[in-house]
Amino acid sequence: MAQGLLGKKLGMTQIFTQDGKTEAVTAIEAGPCTVLQVKTVDKEGYNAVQYGYGNAKRITSPRKGQMKDMGSFRYLREFRVEDTSAINVGDTVDISQFAEGDLVDVTGISKSKGYAGVVKRHGFRGGPKTHGQSDRWRAPGSIGATTTPGRVWKGTRMAGRLGGDRVTIRGCKVVKADAERNLLLIKGAIPGSKNGLLMIRKSLKGKK
């Protein structure tokens, strides 16, 4: 079966370890997902499996045809796989593929924070707080030279939109996998806001 799953971020909490220490974890409602399509090298040029997850209130006719009357899914996502021989359309995937102590890579959309200055966006320290510099506290400073090159270099860190990016956290540890409640507890923070979509896959970190 494919090494991946779709889920929804429920929020953060803490649990107690056996030695009495607290550990911050993120609760994820993971799966179950339905296999809607299996892509192969011969037909599409690569091996992948397409999952359907979540309930959609309204779907269009083309999307309904794509789901082949297997449900009304809100999210459709692909996972690359090496072998598709054991995967069939209509299969159900749950968190049974994950166990306590496994390392996973979690992908989500980071929280959007709108337009932000360089201090908040890039961690600049700001200008001097004395010698008459009353309006430079959170300013970016110089953004380029004069005649040479006579322009602002591409990629210069400046103010702009912060957040709302696709972020992947690698090597996250699975603290608990509750198959009955479709609940995963991942150690540490996970990108995204509450109820945000997450893609969870077996981590390549630490493998030989």
The answer to whether position 194 is within a domain reads: yes
The answer to whether position 135 is within a domain reads: no
Show the domain range for 179. Answer: 4-113+161-202
Six token digits for residue 174: 């699975």
Whether 51 contacts 79, CB under 8 Å: yes
The answer to whether position 34 is within a domain reads: yes
- In whole numbers, what is the pLDDT of the chain averaged over residues? 88
The answer to whether position 156 is within a domain reads: no
Please determine, for residue 206, whether its predicted confidence score (pLDDT) is greater than 60: no
122 pLDDT band (50/70/90 cuts)? very high
The pLDDT of residue 56 = 85
User: Can you tell me the distance from the alpha carbon of 129 to that of 148, in angstroms, rounded to the nearest whole number?
Assistant: 30
What are the tens digits of pLDDT across the range 43-97? 889 989 999 898 888 888 888 888 877 878 898 999 988 888 888 888 888 888 8
The answer to whether position 149 is within a domain reads: no
The answer to whether position 138 is within a domain reads: no
Six token digits for residue 140: 């970016």
Domain CATH code at residue 40: 2.40.30.10
Peptide bond into 128 cis (omega under 30): no
The answer to whether position 107 is within a domain reads: yes
Task: Give the rounded distance of the alpha carbon of 40 from its chain centre.
Answer: 25
The answer to whether position 139 is within a domain reads: no
156 pLDDT band (50/70/90 cuts)? very high
Six token digits for residue 11: 């929020």
Per the DSSP assignment, residues forming a β-bridge with 39 are: 48
208 pLDDT band (50/70/90 cuts)? very low
What are the tens digits of pLDDT across the range 10-35? 999 999 988 888 999 999 999 899 89
What's this model's pTM, rounded to 2 decimal places? 0.81
Total number of domains in the chain: 1
